[in-house]
Amino acid sequence: MNTSTQLIPTTLPLQDRSLLRDACYINGQWVKANSGAMQSIHNPATHELVGRVPICGEIETRDAIQSAHLAMQEWSAGTAAERAKVLRRWYELMLENMNDLAVILTSEQGKPIIEARSEVKYGASFIEWFGEEAKRMYGDVIPTHMKDRRLIVLRQPVGVVAAITPWNFPIAMITRKCAPALAAGCSMVCKPSPETPLSALALAELAHRAGVPPGVFNVVTGDAIKIGGEMTRNELVRKLSFTGSTRTGVLLATQCAATLKKVSLELGGNAPFIVFDDADIDAAIAGAIISKFRNSGQTCVCTNRFLVQAGIHDTFVEKLSHAVVKLKVGNGMLEDTIQGPLINQHAVEKVEAHIADALKQGARIITGGKRHSLGGTYFEPTVIKDVTSAMRMAREETFGPVAPIFKFSTEAEALQMANATEFGLAAYVYTKDMGRAWRVTEQIETGMVGINVGLISTEIAPFGGIKMSGIGREGSKYGLDDYTELKYMCMGLS
């Protein structure tokens, strides 16, 4: 193994420079790629070099999986309270280093520093919550069917977990996976997104300081196809957890089929945000801003379609565009920035293509609609009306700061429009009629519904989708299920 403990020179305003790493974390050591190959990470706001990480492949991934396999034996044999103590320390270290973690996150991902700090807290909350929940990983005693038998169900860790995580939440999407995994007694090998590996390595440094034993949590950066290929092929990996696009999720699930791994997939969305005539309009506007423009529209649960009832439509369009014009676009490192740059040019091109398609078919821009004068990957927060189901933005996830507004007349029509998608992650409904809120919630085809709220994510509730939005749930007491297997014990008393 090619090990490294060097710190990289940086101009980032960090209190603790040792959080910025240029090596992978395998078996408790900082490791370079066998080939020596490195990849540069650039700030999407300034294009400056933020750091460099190894380009690893199958061999380093296999090493990490092997060390995770060995480390799990002792980790899972410990008590839940012992694991909870280590997780608690990791959680505390994340909060103690919140500002540095946020600086690294914003520098490689672009989101406003205020949002980055929130993400660090959100990410840390999974570690705290699952550390506590480890102590409640109860089994069951089944009332017997025979006098001389006793039936018991144990919950055991599923085994080595491979995690493939996205760039839009470089910290929280790792902790949402590793916290339940480690709490249950599993070990993990994580491949962060090539756009945002530095946050993952900083997390690994804090895991090390918290006393997570060598091999229990590993981070391998580099070639997605080679690392993902090894993760899905390797028989020692018993579970794969992935957050990202539906196309990649389907591919990974197919690759996992040969070794029958358990899979959790948190994939694309096409969230409807339904505003009925009786809604509290100001609350709906506040919810619309947070649900659409969080992370510049780059979250899986971001509203992709605003469905607004005819009676309130024009007022909603007007109020939303007034609010959107005020969103300050800029470098995420500035405290007053609300909208950072998009992650890369490809993201900008997709947003442009969706807008062009909508305009060609009769939609009208109310505000925004083009690249921002700041240049690079900045895009103007956009409101567009007269959008119809024939347009690309009705079917595909735009993943950018565009609010397309559709008009509907009846509750039945709203439901039909909301469900006319292959995706089923999140939905938002604004109404004062609680009967309607229940009816719509029960009939809408998504894994999560926000009623009169635009932000639903929390560590204590189950996050996940149905249809092509995924399999499994993350967070909450249900989140532990994905990292455990049931073992039935039948005891004869004779």
Q: Whose Cβ is closer to ligand SIN: residue 59's or residue 455's?
A: 455
In angstroms, what is the minimal distance from the CB of 455 to ligand SIN? 8
In angstroms, what is the minimal distance from the CB of 431 to ligand SIN? 23
Residue 300 found at the interface with ligand SIN (CB under 6 A):
yes
In angstroms, what is the minimal distance from the CB of 301 to ligand SIN? 5
**Closest listed residue to residue 90, CA positions, set 1, 181, 153:** 181
Give the total of residues touching ligand SIN (CB under 6 A): 9
Distance CA 477, CA 94 (A): 22
CB 177, CB 241: distance < 8 Å = yes
CB 192, CB 174: distance < 8 Å = yes
Alpha carbon separation from 138 to 132, 133, 141, 477, 484 (Å, rounded) = 13, 10, 10, 11, 11
Residue nearest to ligand SIN (CB): 457
Residue 457 found at the interface with ligand SIN (CB under 6 A):
yes
- Residue of the chain from 67, 97, 109, 168 that contacts ligand SIN (CB under 6 A): 168
**Closest listed residue to residue 266, CA positions, set 250, 251, 244:** 244
Residue 174 found at the interface with ligand SIN (CB under 6 A):
no
490 is known as an active-site residue: no
Q: Whose Cβ is closer to ligand SIN: residue 84's or residue 300's?
A: 300
Residue 301 found at the interface with ligand SIN (CB under 6 A):
yes
- In terms of DSSP H, where are the helices of 294-344? 310-325
**Segment interacting with ligand SIN, rule: CB under 6 A, options 293-301, 332-340, 365-373, 485-493:** 293-301
- Burial class, 488, CB count within 10 angstroms (exposed 0-12 / middle 13-18 / buried 19+): exposed
CB 297, CB 276: distance < 8 Å = no
Contact string 218-257 vs ligand SIN (x = CB under 6 A): -------------------------x--------------
190 is known as an active-site residue: no
Residue 469 found at the interface with ligand SIN (CB under 6 A):
no
Q: Whose Cβ is closer to ligand SIN: residue 201's or residue 301's?
A: 301
CA trace torsion 350, 425, 191, 214 (10° rounding): 160
- Residue of the chain from 27, 218, 299, 303 that contacts ligand SIN (CB under 6 A): 299
Q: Whose Cβ is closer to ligand SIN: residue 253's or residue 317's?
A: 253
431's tokens: 């109404």
Q: How many CB atoms lie within 10 A of CB 277?
A: 15
- Catalytic site positions: 266, 300
Positions in the binding site for ligand SIN (CB under 6 A): 168-169, 243, 266, 299-301, 457, 463
